[in-house]
Each structure stands twice: as C-alpha cells, then as structure tokens.
Structure 1
Amino acid sequence: MLVSISILGILYVVAMVFLALFKGCRKFALWTGLVAVAVTLTAMTITGSQINADARAAGYDSADDQRDAQRAGITDPAMWRAQREAYLKTWAAEKKQKEAAAKDTKDQESAQADAICSKDFNCWSNKFNRAATKVCAPQVERAAKNNFEWTDSFTSPKFPRATINDNGASITYVGDAIKMQNGFGAWIIMTYECDFDTKASRAIAVRVNPGQFTN
C-alpha cells in the first residue's frame, strides 16, 4: 500500500511541475505539490523502515544485507552470515578491478586523442586556451602599475593567437585586449605573451609591453 502511495506521489509531483508551467495553475500546483512531496517522503520513509524490519525479522541485518544474500544465491540467513565476509571481499575486489580496467581504458583513449590532437595546431592550441587564460590573465594584470581594463569580448578572446613550442610541451598565447593606465592617467593598449606548460597547466613566463597588433 505504502509503495503504491509513494509511486502515485512521485507521479503527482511530476504532474504538478508540468502544471506549474501554466500561470493560472501555479498556485494550485505549488501548494498541492508541496503536500504531495511531504506525503510521498513520509510514505517512502515508512516503506523503507518496514522493508528493513521485514529483513531483520527474516534473520538479516537489513534490507541491503538481504539483497546481498540474494545476489549470492543464498536463502539461509545463518549460511549467509557465515559466508558474507568472503562474498563482500570478492565483490569489492571485482569492483576495484573493473574500475581499474575502466580507468586504464579511459587513459589509453585520452592518450590516443591527445596524440592525434597534438598534431593539429588548432586542436592543440584550443585545447588549453581556457586553462591558459585562467592562469595567465591574473599575471598579465599584475604587470599594471595603475588601473587596467580588459577589452576582450565573446567574439574577441583575451588570447586569440598562439605559438606551439617543444612539440606541444608548451604554448605561447598572445593577445592585446587590455589597456593599462600610466602615471599621467593616459590609457595605453598593451600586448602580452604567456608561455603555458601544457603538462603542468601553469604559466612559465609572462611578458607585457606597450603596443597592439597591426592585423
């Protein structure tokens, strides 16, 4: 009975979320939805407690413990208690092995993708542009002796140009999307370069000078 109430409650809440999209029904959907959430959570809590109580009455520690026994194909609680530790250790080892295998596969795929990407200028320079911007921009700002103002935009990023060095081990990102104020209050457009280490994800060196790109 409680399981049915929980299912109906979930369906009702989903229906109220949909109904709330209509302005005239929002108040009704809100209040009845909140009541449904409260009733559903209560029913689910009671259901969970009842399931655990039934499992303990059957001789298991909890509902999860009973499900583990069923997974092992053991229906006798006493026999399960005697063999539980061995099964849990085996399952944990299998899970760890599967996770390690999945990680190795993912690492191999990533390495293969990087090997292909590193041979393409646009792919390799774009791959690290965001990370380079995050670590390089603050260092460019530190070069300002007074006020500064970025002039980049969505279509004009801070580092629009790049040069790949040492077979991709580092990339020099370049831009001129910043103005710095000199001691007389005049604003000067600056060009800047940042040597970015692609393996360590850090800025190796930053250079800032007056001027801007000519094209």
Structure 2
Amino acid sequence: MSVLWALGVLLGGGLLVVVSPIMLLFRARRAQAKWVAVAGLVLAFFCVSKWDGAVQSEAIAAGFSSADDRRIAREAGFTDPEAWRLEKRAQAEARVAREAEERVARAEREKVEAEKAAKRAEYMAQIAAANDAACGQNLKCVADKAWAEASVYCQDYVERRAKFQFEWTDGFLERKFSRYRWHNAKEQQVTFIGDKVKFQNGFGAWQNMIYSCDYDTKTKTVLGGRVEAGRL
C-alpha cells in the first residue's frame, strides 16, 4: 500500500467522522449516523496503522533502520543512509572512548581520595599515639580519658556484689565514682572509688557502701574490686 493511498483512506475516514454529527441533526438519519461514526473511527485507525507501516517500509527500503532513524538522520543533516551509518558508528565509538576515559579518571580520583584518607588516618593515629604517650603516667589524664567507659563496666561489677537489693543514691549529673588512684601505673590500670550505693542486708535493712573497681584502661576490662560498708 502506497503512502498516498493510505493518506487518501485516512482522509476518507476523517470525513465520515465529520459527516456523522451532521446526520444527527436529522431524526431519520440518527441511527445511521452512529454507525457511520463507528465505521469512520475504525477506518481511521486502520489507515493510521497502514500509514505507519508504509512510512516504516519506505524508510527501510531507503536504507535506514526505521522511520525514526531516517527522521533523526535528516535532523542531523544526513540523507545518505550509508553516511548516516558511518556517523552513528563514529558517535558510538566516541561515546565508548569517552566512557572509558571517564572510568579511568574516576578510578584515579578514587585512588587519590583513598590515599588522602589513608594519610589522614595515619596522621590521626600518630596524634592519638602521641596523646597517649603524653598522657602516659599522668594519673588524672589516664583516669579522665577512661572515666566514662569505666563507670559503665564498674557499675555492673558493683551491682553484682550485692547479695540482695541495691539502690544507687547519686544524682542525675553526679558521678558514681568520685575518686581514683593508681592500681598499676606502668600498665595504666586505675582504681575508681565511690560511695553512692546502698545494699540491703538479710534483715531488709539498707546500708551505705564504699566500693572500688580496678580498671585496665588499655584492655578496657574490670580486673577486680572491693565493696564494704561505710561512707567516704
């Protein structure tokens, strides 16, 4: 089917669609008008499909892969299908080369960022090591750095020393361990001490307790401790 024939049939279907509303003005023709409209729509749809097929066939016969391919070629200024194929191949090769260059550049950037991150980590490790070395045998420095974590582990240690019920008496912002001393200065082990807990005895009476916790700041472990009645 030629393109011109398909166009003619499309126009004929369009006329049927236009004529049918006019027929509705006449009572005797209203029934026929509905069928004319339906027939016109079916014919228009048929013509559109035929038109598209004809356009596609013409483009393929001209040497293009599709009607859209020929349209894009014309927009790019190409009418020769062979020249257009060569141009598309060149564009594809350029795109592949560009993507490869981008991958190489991205890999190089990632490598540089990784090296920077490694240097930053090394520098921070050196700073941390220097701070630890400076802290060294300074009891206050070692205790202050370990106080928060030691309070968590040592609190559990103290609570497990209670035979019956226990009750902490420290305030919301008050430290449970108010004092400290060296347990082993060479190994940076500190004894934390406090008296902010009450233990219940076998008779149900409550008693204030003094507790101590020997904490290894390097291994972050509780080494032992003591709990006895009294106040600091």
TM-score by length of 2: 0.54
Contact 2:210–2:227 at 8 Å: present in 1 too?
yes
Does 1:153 pair with 2:171?
yes
- Report deviation, 1:168: 5.0
2:185 corresponds, among 162, 166, 170, to 166
CA–CA separation in structure 1 for the residues paired with 2:100 and 2:165: 73
**1:98 CA drift (Å):** 0.7
**Residue 136 of structure 1 aligns to which amino acid in structure 2?**
C
Indicate yes or no: 2:220 matched with 1:197. Answer: no
Larger mean Cα displacement after TM superposition, 118-127 or 135-144: 118-127
Q: Equivalent residue for 2:143?
A: 125
Q: How does 1:13-24 map to 2 (within 5 A)?
A: none
Instruction: Give matches, 1:35-74, under 5 Å.
Output: none
**Separation in 1, partners of 2:205, 2:110:** 67
- Whole-Å Cα distance in 2 between the matches of residues 173 and 79 of structure 1? 66
Q: Percent identity?
A: 35
- Per the TM alignment, residue 122 of structure 1 is displaced from its structure 2 partner at its CA by 2.0
Deviations 1:104-160 (A, max 9, x none): 111111111222223433222111111100111011111111111111225642111
Is 1:101 the equivalent of 2:119? yes
Asked whether the 8 Å contact 2:213–2:226 carries over to 1, the reply is yes
Counterpart of 2:161? 143
Match of 1:52 in 2: none
Gaps of 5+ in 2: 1-93
The question of whether the paired residues in 2 share the 8 Å contact of 1:124 and 1:168 is answered with no
* CA distance, structure 2, for counterparts of residue 174 and residue 122 of structure 1: 14
Aligned length: 138
- 4+ residue segments displaced more than 6 Å: none
Give the conservation status (yes or no) of the 8 Å contact 2:137–2:188. Answer: no
Return the offset for 1:183. Answer: 0.5
Aligned to 1:81: 99
Preserved CA contact (<8 Å) 1:151 1:179: yes
Label 1:163 to 1:129 Cα distance change in 2 as closer, same or farther (>3 A).
same
Question: Deviations 1:22-81 (Å, cap 9, x if unpaired)?
Answer: xxxxxxxxxxxxxxxxxxxxxxxxxxxxxxxxxxxxxxxxxxxxxxxxxxxxxx644321
Residue of structure 1 equivalent to 2:77? none
Letter in structure 2 aligned against 1:82: A
SS at match of 2:186: helix
d(CA) in 2 for partners of 1:149, 1:172: 22
Q: Does 1:179 align with 2:203?
A: no
* Structure of larger gyration radius: 2
Q: Which runs of 5+ in 1 are unaligned?
A: 1-75
User: What is the alpha-carbon distance in structure 1 between the residues aligned to residue 205 and residue 116 of structure 2?
Assistant: 63
User: Separation in 1 of the partners of 2:223 and 2:109?
Assistant: 46
- Is structure 2 residue 226 aligned with structure 1 residue 207? yes
Matching of residues 20-39 of structure 1 within 5 Å: none
With normalisation by structure 1, the TM-score equals: 0.58
Matched AA of 2:193: V
Whether the 8 Å CA contact 2:169–2:198 is kept in 1: the answer is yes
